Amino acid sequence: MKKWARFVGNCAVEVIDFDPENRFHSSIIFEPVPCDVTPNSVREGNHWTIMRWDSSDEDRMALLKTNIENLQDDASATDRVSAYQDELTALQEKTKREHP
């Protein structure tokens, strides 16, 4: 899935999942971003700090799985994929402990 974001400084203030070409006034600029970028995520060069939103463990696990799958071929996202895999494993273990 492709995403585009509108930035204020280095912060993604709006993220969309459709091609913005010819859909907005020319003064509104969207840039392509990795599929795991969310509003309020911060970009510094090729490094991203992805904003996480509170959600249920099940929703977080589904999002983590999607992000891992969609970022597999993105060499610049290797660290994020690894962190997502660690977080997913921790959530799965937590779920097993809470719901044996």
Query: What's the whole-number mean pLDDT along residues 5-29?
Result: 94
According to DSSP, the residues that pair with 49 across neighbouring strands are 42
User: Band of the pLDDT at 74, cuts 50, 70, 90?
Assistant: confident
Taking the model in full, what pTM does it have?
Answer: 0.67
Q: What is the pLDDT of residues 50-68, one digit of tens each?
A: 887 777 888 888 888 988 9
Long-range contacts of 62-65 (CB under 8 A, 24+ apart): 64/88, 64/91
